[in-house]
Structure formats: structure tokens, C-alpha cells
Amino acid sequence: MIDRSALGFPLMSSAAAFSYAPLLPTGPDQTEYRLVTDEGVDVVHGPGGRRFLTVEPAALTALTAEAMHDIAHFLRPAHLAQLRSIIDDPAASPNDRFVALDLLRNANIAAGGVLPMCQDTGTAIVMGKRGRHVLTDGSDAEAISRGVWQAYTRLNLRYSQLAPLTMWEERNTGSNLPAQVEIYAEDPDGHPDAYKFLFMAKGGGSANKSYLYQETKALLNPTRMMQFLEEKLRLIGTSACPPYHLAIVIGGTSAEYALKTAKYASAKYLDALPTSGSMTAHGFRDLELEAEVLELTRNFGIGAQFGGRYFCHDVRVVRLPRHGASCPVAIAVSCSADRQAVAKITPSGVWLERLETDPARYLPDVTDAQLDTSEVVRVDLNRPMDEIRAELSKYPVKTRLSLTGPLVVARDIAHAKIAERLDAGEPMPQYLRDHAVYYAGPAKTPEGYASGSFGPTTAGRMDAYVEKFQAAGGSQVMLAKGNRSAQVTNACQQYGGFYLGSIGGPAARLAQDCIKHVEVLEYPELGMEAVWKIEVEDFPAFIVVDDKGNDFFAEVTKPVLTIGRR
């Protein structure tokens, strides 16, 4: 160690003595693991009696492929137990219980290993901590990426990654690569001969609900903090498929560190943080504020997508140190496709977190009728559009529907192409005049199935097209997930349109139980972004925006508290 005083730089009298703590000190690992393989790892002895763990690239690849498979099909037992608790809670709304039951059924189907739980099978994110006595050939990121490639090309998962060829032109990579791989030189849990990982599959819906706010010291009091959080949390809406695991990070040595900490916290990766701070300035969890924020969200009225208490399963609040001139606040969610798992490589082998392979044990022994007291309106889509709209016009927002008949499927790129045609003076395609439009994009179709996992995508991305399309006679009835902007409500009121909300999350159940036939109508070269026609049976939906200018989400997204000027 260099002696600063010997260099002419004495310790200043006002300086604190040196002390060190990691920014995120976590406690003992309580994870239950299962052995993936004991091949590709070995122990060698080095100078000074040190023991080194050697890890072959094939072991990293095998672990990654197994992890990406598991998190596409299985959930943690704790998450499933939380879904079941909604069904058992007498204070839960009928819509809360209906959504929770559908998500449990979806988990049961996905656990079969054929249909992934969500059609957006996400960006693969891998974070590793490699101990100082772990030896590899140095190609860790490549070996991990090969495992991602194996999983996505061999399973019924969706390719979502776009390669930028120019600033404006993109093309799907056809493999879901690249993955986001980050490797840190750190002895995990103090073990120099261990290599530990966090695997995540982050879909666009929940990734898009990561927020950064640059605040000031003025935020750091209880009243102002709760006002701030009420305003910002309501804005998350439902397009990322609640109930959420919500993470809030207050402070941070940088903006990007606050955001990354929020992502880890939403994955329950930081649950073992200390619960109080110290002068070593490490991060900690504020359990009291977590409980207060959870209760705040239960009073929003948003619930598990269509009204109720269960906007969130739980809340994590992490307090970090900060520069005196900065106070970043990061917010992130993990959605109903709660896809993450931890893993480790040790001298005893390659280990992966044990997820729940038998989610059926969380299903209740009750029928839909016992869980739901609301009226279900059955809507026949095999009718002219004017008749469908006249039927929908009889019912208020939040009415639960069961749809049977044809739907047209179109999302971002297809909407852009159709808008270009309208701008060029071409007519609205007849299929958008005759049928309701479902914003979605399927995962790969397994053999013997009508479709792959085929849940709704975020409606808000199509908001800019609605007025133009409805004025041209199309998109009179829209089906997707999440809330819409005021311009959509206004267009529906002007042109007699409707927006129906579908449950975000149960893509596997929709594919198995509700979607009976799929065919391409236009733009087959776009893959999952093509225009499709599908036949559905008993497809669940809710009226969210009607032809009278009513919007279910308009009231529940308004803060109750008044936030004044600083």
C-alpha cells in the first residue's frame, strides 16, 4: 500500500478514516439449486496451496441454454403462491381473481415445455460474478451467447432482436442475439472458486416501464416522497402485465447505477440487502416504505389489469448513496412473466435455481363461476362490424367479454405500412374494415398446434394510427393490453369505435385454448409482424374504451394527492 504521507499528501484533519463496504452487500444465498451437470468443470492446484476452478466453454453454454429454457416455461414457487393468494383473498375484486386464475392456468400450460408463458420471449440478459480463482479460456460472453442461441433456435421462442444496418434500416437477427452479457471480477459470496449468475428474459413491455427521474434533496421527506410515487406509479399503467413486482431505487452514484439496481431488485436479486444504513454508505432496503408503497398501489383501483387491489404483488425499495447535487430515482417492474433464475458453477458442478415444474398444485379446486360474480357477455365476431359495435355499445366500460370468431392481427410494422398506403391515397384494406384488430405477434408454432404463444402486445404503440385508421373506416374495434392515450378515446367517441383490453400474460393459455386457426393475410416477409387472420373461441376481453368517450383507465390513473410546486 502506498503511504500518502510519504508522498507529501498527509491525511486531511477533516477526512474520515478509510472504510469499505460494497455498494450492495447481500446476505447468505438461500436459493434451492438443482444440478445441471458436473461435466466441464475441474479443480487444479496452484502455488501457495491455492485451488483453482476451471470451467470449459461448453459448461457455460449448457448452463445458459438450460436457464433460458427454464425461465421461458417455469416460475418461482413464491410467485405462484402470490397468484394463488389473490384468488383466496376475499378483498380481491372479481377481475383480480379472474386474472390470477388465468395466469395460473397459463403457468400450468407453459410448464409442459412446449408453449412459452409469454409470446414476447424477451431479450436475454446474463450477469455473472467470476471469482478470482476461476479459470476460463476468456471467451465467456461468446460461450454464454451460444447458449442463448441454442435455446432460442431450438425452442418455441420468438426472435425479437433487430440489427441496425443503417441508422434507419433494421433487420431481425433470426436468433434473438445479441444477448446482454456482463461479467464482473468479484468473489461471489466471498468464494474465490465460484462463478455465479443471474439469468433474465426481459420482454419489451416490462423493459419499457423502466423509468429514471432526476430529483433533488426536496424529495427526501415522507410527504413529498409519497406524492411523487403516487403520481409516477400510476403512469406505469397495465401494458406491462400486472400484477407487478415493483422496484424503486432512491439515490445512486450515477443514473445508470440506479437503473441497474432497480432491475436487479425487481428480480428479487437484492432481497438479502441490509435493512438499515451506515456511514460506510452501502445500499439498504427500507421495509417500512415498501409496505407503505404496496398499500398505496392497492388503493389505485387499477388492480390486476381491470380494477381491484392487486396492481402489485410486492414492492422493493432500495436506498443508495448519492452525490449531494443529484438524487436519481429509478423505477422498474417485473411482470406476470416473472422470468429470472440464479445459477452457480462450483467445484461440485453446474447448478441452476430450482423453479416450479408442477404449478398445477397452486390451482384452486373451484370453478370460474365460484370465482367470478360479474356478467360475461358473449360476442359473436362472425357478424358485420356495425352489428358488433351495436352490441358492444349496450355495455359499460369494465364489462367482461368472451369473443368468438375471426380477428385480424396487426402490430407496429404492419400499421406503419398501412398508414403509408393511406397517405398515398389507397383505401383502407378491407380486412381492417370487416374485423376487429388484435395487436399481437406470435412465438413459433409447435407441431400440432394452431399457433405458438400469442398474447397481446402493448396497445399504446399504435395510438398514433387510430384516428387516421378509424376515419378511413378501419380499426373500429381494437384488442390489446394496457391503457390508451386521450387521442384514442376521442377517436372512438368521434367514429364509434371501441378498445377492448385483453389479459396481458397468459399467451400460452390463449394459444392452447382460444386460438383455433391462424393464416397469413399480408406481408408474410415480416414474420411475426405479418398481418394474420385468426379464429378464436371464448377469448377473454374487457371493454376499456367505448364509443361514448368513456375510458376505464382515465380515472384510476389520476393522482388523488395534489403535488405542488417545489
- When pLDDT is cut at 50, 70 and 90, the band that residue 356 belongs to is very high
Q: What are the phi and psi torsion angles at 222 (to 5°)?
A: -55, -45
Q: What pLDDT is attached to residue 370?
A: 54
Q: Is the pLDDT of residue 136 over 50?
A: yes
- Angle 287-298/222-234 helices, nearest 10 degrees? 50
Give residue 465's Cα distance to chain centre. Answer: 25
Give residue 466's Cα distance to chain centre. Answer: 25
- Under 8 Å between Cβ of 491 and 466: yes
- When pLDDT is cut at 50, 70 and 90, the band that residue 566 belongs to is very low
Section 369-390 average pLDDT: 84
Query: What stretches of 335-399 adopt beta strand conformation (E)?
Result: 340-346, 349-353, 376-380
User: For the chain, which domains are there?
Assistant: 21-203+338-367 (no CATH), 204-336 (no CATH), 374-545 (3.20.130.10)
Section 441-454 average pLDDT: 90
Give residue 521's Cα distance to chain centre. Answer: 30
Q: What pLDDT is attached to residue 171?
A: 92
Query: What stretches of 90-133 adopt beta strand conformation (E)?
Result: 123-130
| pTM of the shown model | 0.87
Please state the length of the chain.
Answer: 566
Section 46-68 average pLDDT: 95
460-492 pLDDT, tens digit each: 999 999 999 999 999 999 999 988 999 999 999
Cβ neighbourhood burial of 204 (10 Å; 0-12, 13-18, 19+) = middle
Q: Is the pLDDT of residue 82 over 80?
A: yes
- When pLDDT is cut at 50, 70 and 90, the band that residue 565 belongs to is very low
Closest of 352, 333, 336 to residue 147, by C-alpha:
352
**Mean per-residue pLDDT of the chain:** 93
CA atoms within 13 A on the CB side of 39: 4
Alpha carbon distance 351, 343 (integer Å): 6
Tabulate helix, strand, coil % of the chain (nearest 5): 35, 25, 40
Q: What pLDDT is attached to residue 505?
A: 81
139-169 pLDDT, tens digit each: 999 999 999 999 999 999 999 999 999 999 9
Q: What pLDDT is attached to residue 8?
A: 59
